[in-house]
A = this chain, B = another copy of it.
Amino acid sequence: MTTGQLHLNAFLMNTGHHEASWRLPESDPFAHVSLDHYIRLARIAERGSFDSLFLADGPQLWSNLAQRPAGALEPLTLLTALATATEHIGLIATASTSYNSPYNLARKFASLDIISGGRAGWNIVTTAGREAARNFGLEHEPAHADRYARAGEFLDVALKLWDSWEDDAIVGDKAAGVWGDDTKVHPPRHQGTYFSVEGALNVPRTPQGYPLLVQAGSSEDGKEFASRYAEAVFTAQQTIEDARAFYADLKSRTAAAGRDPDHIKVLPGIVPVIGATEAEALAKERELEDHIVHDHGVANLERLLQLPLGTLELDRLLPSDLPPESAVEGAKSRYTLVVELARRDRLTVRQLIGRLGGGRGHLTFAGTPEQVADAIETWFTQGAADGFNIMPPVLPSGLDAFVDHVVPILRTRGLLRAEYGPRQTLRERYGLPRPANQYAQPVHA
């Protein structure tokens, strides 16, 4: 059971998480490349004293241009610009361990952490899909287990690089002409299966030591990885029972890995569709569903389920002979979630597309501000969540609605800070300790 501070993360995605959000009159079709749009969103989230904001990513063009906004500003670049437009909120960027070099990526996160005053976070992904692989010289997607093996080594190298300067390596002795202490620099000299990295990072140790480590895969490999490295986990859970089971499992794996289970924060995603009355909220949800183009939804579902195009029919159930998760090399946990959702609620393809259109498998919750706050409080106090990944269906209006109407209720109930107070690092916001440097000698009393 969790008590105390509820953690809130704002998952920002161009015109909103509902796939048809861009078609609403209020939406800007160019929002995905508008710095002003993202600054506005970041400031709304700060008004709601959110712990952090977050950007998803993959190094490929996700979809056809016809169906919805495609492409995005690269997250580390966009978050750096947002760092200068905000003061308190944490800034979490997605980046791939499969399609980056540890030296380059470690530098970029270290630089963002310094520029933001210790507010950087890294959502570590291994990047499913052949499309990404083929943008980086590979013919096929690497196998799921291989991607995670590489991710583990990537983290080990990155952690060495971030620790390669001790905190007090810079001396700045002008009179003696000695700027730094070379005995406090520790080149990784790493020789591994996937990487060889010899030299120290060319950035000093940062305010947080290194970015907050975030993870979002819920497959077996994903959970094992999270238990070793992650300090916050985003997850898609449709019911409180599933969420409690996931929460308990992850905490116990983390303890088994020798870590304090309180040092991994679990944040399920929620797509809040907010109305002054329940009827108004449901009407908003219907308006969005009415804007879905079903042909696109069918093609996307066939791609996710790895079926030939033209297999699915709108008004029938999913085929009963889909392969098990273990046979899938793509986004395993998402695959299972979608299949289980369709089977549990006996959804036709059309109904499934409607449900996925809102939050791509995350929990969509339509209701009044009180009802949304009740759901959040219940999950939080019943051991299903340390906080939530808030995924407004429409942006900016859905984030405004959450901050204006749900946040005050959470504050009144003592679940959420009333304001930020003094500046803190992202890790401090999440109640996590600053990591020690693996190379520093312990100080003897």
Binding site for B on A (CB under 8 A): 20, 22-25, 27, 29-30, 33, 35, 58-62, 64-74, 76-78, 80-81, 83-85, 99-101, 103-104, 107-108, 110-112, 114-115, 131, 134-138, 165, 169-170, 172, 174, 177-182, 184-185, 195-204, 291, 293
Contacts and interface: CB of A to CB of B under 8 A. Distances in A.
Q: So how many copies of this chain end up in the complex?
A: 2
A221 to B, nearest CB: 24
B197 A135 contact: yes
A182 B138 CA distance: 24
Contacts of A70: 179-180, 202
Contact of A76 (B68, B77, B137): B77
The A interface, classified by DSSP as helix, strand, loop or mixed, is loop
Contact of A135 (B174, B199, B203): B199
A65 B177 CA distance: 11
B179 A134 contact: no
Nearest to A57: B202
8 contacts: A30-B170, A61-B202, A69-B180, A71-B165, A77-B77, A77-B115, A81-B83, A99-B101
B170 A29 contact: yes
Contacts of A60: 199, 202
A397 to B, nearest CB: 16
B61 A199 contact: yes
Contacts of A114: 33, 35, 73
Given A80-B77, A84-B81, A174-B22, A72 B203 contact: yes
Contact of A77 (B100, B103, B112, B172): B112
A363 B74 CA distance: 38
Contacts of A107: 59, 74
Contacts of A68: 179
B199 A78 contact: no
Contacts of A78: 111, 115
B81 A179 contact: no
Contacts of A195: 137
Given A70-B179, A197-B135, A33 B174 contact: no
Given A65-B179, A84-B81, A135-B197, A104 B99 contact: yes
A102 to B, nearest CB: 9
Given A65-B181, A114-B33, A203 B137 contact: no
